[in-house]
Structure 1
Amino acid sequence: MAAPDIHPRRIVHVTEAPLGGVVTYLEELLALQIATMPATAIDLITPAVNRPALEHLQGPNFTLIDYPMRRGSKKDLAALGLRTIGHLRRTRPEILHIHSTFAGAAVRGLDPLIPRGCRTIYCPHGWAFSREGSGRGQKLVAQVERLLSRVTDRIVCISDYERRAALEIGIAPEKLVVIDNGVSPRPEAAARPPRADGKLLIAFAGRFDRQKGYDTFLEVMRRLGDRAHAQAIGSAIVSAEALPAPPPNVELLGWQPREKVFDLFARADLLLVPSRWEGFGLVAVEAMQAGLPVFASRVGGLQDVVADGRTGRLFTPDAVGEIVALIEGTTPEQLREYGRRGLERYRERYTADRMAREMAALYREVTSG
């Protein structure tokens, strides 16, 4: 008989990220940890803005601790670091699991205050030095990440792209482990019937900002005109004042719960992901789980997720003409085949169960030494 799994007594997760992909990741991972580790106390320290998206997570072993957080506030980040250290010293967990760049810096920067015996796991969810910015700023961020990696037991890379990027800046390979993101299965979508008007329904889901290529999405739809209609789920995190006006063939649905996102994916003909940088691109996996083809930028982890010409298409970032040509040059039969293969790829590589098992194995590894 196989020996039973031995789980940590307590795990503390902490993030500063508001809404978006990090919160979706935490929804998936924590739901399975709560269910499969009933004897483990699981705490989540997160900005108050995330509570509505996470309060459905329930269990006698789970505690959600929220705090006020102003985007970009150095004072609030410093307070997060001190708040987390205080919680660690009171509860003495075996695992501290930090999510996203700023929380990673705020908490790991106080490493001498972290209790002995607490192992630190860090997941950047997309390296900050891989994003757009000044060369000097990116070099500084890379130096900070390299320095802080020395006080980190393991760094979880959400794609092989992230691992390769870490190696390029000199992070020790033994610190790195790749655990691809995963999502839970939903009921299979019914076959998408042809539309009476013959127009494609294109889905967009994500923040309305530069990183996600929201401006590119709008320009693509403007050029497609009457040949396609789009529905966009999301909002601007910082301010909507500077957003470009959408063309008439784009319907903005605002920020919606995940079930509404999956409802859109069940109706749409393709998902457009014109991001300028992505550590992974979880929305692409959510679409593949729904049997929806993904047309995405050839950047970051999206290159690992989307199999070009098999589960969708990859294109050059910002290349509006190229994107329009790919959409117009793809037949309905090809879209259906991309969707079928995408669902197969999801089942093989991107389930939440697989992600949770690999994370549990990592916890056992770092606490067994």
Structure 2
Amino acid sequence: MRDANPPLHRILHVTEAPLGGVVTYLEELVGEQLHSLADVQIDVITPEINREALSKLSGPRFSLITFRHRRGSVRALLRMALLTLRHVRRTRPDILHIHSTFAGAAIRAFFPLIPKGTHVVYCPHGWAFSREGSSRMRRATALVERLLARVTERIVCISDHERREALAAGISPDRLVVIENGISPPPGNGIAGDYLTPAPARRLIAFAGRFDRQKGFDTFLEVMRELGDDAEAVAIGSSITSDEALPDCPDNVRIIGWQDRATVFDLYRRADLLLVPSRWEGFGLVAAEAMQQGLAVFASQVGGLQDIVVDNETGRLFQPDDVQGIVAMIRATSDAELARFGENGRRRYLARYTTAQMTAKVTALYNELLAGKAGAGVVSARHIL
């Protein structure tokens, strides 16, 4: 049984990532933690741009701490690291859970200043050494991750593919645990947006995410240009991390910027397929979101996407940048096949990608560390958190 007055545990989540999948992950995980974990204080340190996206997280046991941040700024990363260290030394959290590459590097570089008793957990949300770049840069990044792994009690891989990449880079398997991302049901029944014609005669294709090179937004636009009158598309998102000018947008694409979850899921319910032409991806949260709504997913065969999407079962997989191949694949797929993909995807989501499953596994990991049983497997979530 639990003590009548159990101690108040503290969890601190930190990221420098702006909007996108990492912030959605935090919204899902922290929201479920606040709901399911009693006697836990949860703090989140994040860039100011994420305040609105995390605005639904609230309560007497929650605090949101924001800072001014510019992606790629070394000074901003140092400012974030010092802010985190001051908070850690003042509040002495039981768990310091760091999200994304730059936050992981900046904060763990100051590991000697982190108080004993604070357990460090890191989730890269996609390894930097697996992204585009010179082989020399990728080797250097892998070396840094190997060194920092030594001061990290657990590294959460969000897909089996991410774990395989870590092992190939020389990171100890004892540090690694796979906990796939989870998605909660959308709020309410969604809304019928005014971004579509009442009854589109053409096949409707959805895109959701940052308009940058990683997400293959330029490939998406070229695919739509080739499809012409055969399809129309709605793109949710904007350019966040890329300074490159966006290609010209074809007439059959409507861009509606960042939207709340109700609008995102409304689009998934009304679309015929979600196109995810990413060039690299740690997981691919939008794919799991679409599968929850029974939407077929056509995605690049990269990173965690190839673990989520089962080719010819929940959607289709293709090689990155293969515009003609993607177009041919979309045209060759019947409406009946799209419906079958969506039904199978919904079943796969329920089996693997719910927020409750993800949170239970994260809680078990925390409890393993708090119980001092590193390497002994996960323990029950009760009695500790």
- The verdict on a shared fold, with TM-score over 0.5 as the criterion, is yes
Query: Is the Cα contact below 8 Å between 1:7 and 1:360 reproduced in 2?
Result: no
Give 1:2 deviation, angstroms. 10
Q: Residue in 1 aligned with 2:82?
A: 82
Q: Residue in 2 aligned with 1:46?
A: 46
Which structure 2 residues correspond to residues 206-355 of structure 1 after superposition, within 5 A?
206-238=209-241, 242-355=245-358
Q: Name the CA distance, whole Å, in 1 between partners of 2:184 and 2:366.
A: 21
Query: Is the Cα contact below 8 Å between 1:97 and 1:120 reproduced in 2?
Result: yes
Runs ≥4 residues deviating over 3 A? 1-4, 186-189, 195-198, 238-241
RMSD, matched Cα: 1.9
Residue 15 of structure 2 aligns to which amino acid in structure 1? T
Query: Is the Cα contact below 8 Å between 1:38 and 1:61 reproduced in 2?
Result: no
Secondary structure of the structure 2 residue equivalent to 1:265: helix
Secondary structure of the structure 1 residue equivalent to 2:232: strand
Q: Give the TM-score taking structure 2 as reference length.
A: 0.91
Query: Is the Cα contact below 8 Å between 2:156 and 2:177 reproduced in 1?
Result: yes
Secondary structure of the structure 1 residue equivalent to 2:70: coil
Give 1:38 deviation, angstroms. 2.9
Query: Is the Cα contact below 8 Å between 2:157 and 2:163 reproduced in 1?
Result: yes
| CA deviation map 1:218-244 (0-9, x unaligned) | 010000000000000010014676111
Q: Name the CA distance, whole Å, in 2 between partners of 1:310 and 1:354.
A: 23
Secondary structure of the structure 2 residue equivalent to 1:53: coil
Paired-residue identity, %: 62
Gaps of 5+ in 1: 190-194
Q: Residue in 1 aligned with 2:382?
A: none
Secondary structure of the structure 2 residue equivalent to 1:207: coil
Query: Is the Cα contact below 8 Å between 1:7 and 1:37 reproduced in 2?
Result: no
Gaps of 5+ in 2: 191-197, 373-385
Give 1:259 deviation, angstroms. 1.6
Which structure 2 residues correspond to residues 145-184 of structure 1 after superposition, within 5 A?
145-184=145-184
Q: Name the CA distance, whole Å, in 2 between partners of 1:211 and 1:241.
A: 12
Q: Name the CA distance, whole Å, in 1 between partners of 2:225 and 2:7.
A: 52
Query: Is the Cα contact below 8 Å between 1:188 and 1:290 reproduced in 2?
Result: no
Q: Name the CA distance, whole Å, in 2 between partners of 1:223 and 1:110.
A: 50
Query: Is the Cα contact below 8 Å between 1:306 and 1:313 reproduced in 2?
Result: yes
Give 1:76 deviation, angstroms. 1.0
Residue 319 of structure 2 aligns to which amino acid in structure 1? T
* Count of residue pairs the alignment pairs up: 364
| CA deviation map 1:166-189 (0-9, x unaligned) | 000110001000000000023689
Query: Is the Cα contact below 8 Å between 1:288 and 1:346 reproduced in 2?
Result: yes
Residue 255 of structure 2 aligns to which amino acid in structure 1? L
Q: Give the TM-score taking structure 1 as reference length.
A: 0.95
Q: Residue in 2 aligned with 1:192?
A: none
| CA deviation map 1:73-110 (0-9, x unaligned) | 10111111111111011001110000000000111000
Query: Is the Cα contact below 8 Å between 2:189 and 2:262 reproduced in 1?
Result: no
Secondary structure of the structure 2 residue equivalent to 1:365: helix
Which structure 2 residues correspond to residues 73-222 of structure 1 after superposition, within 5 A?
73-186=73-186, 198-222=201-225
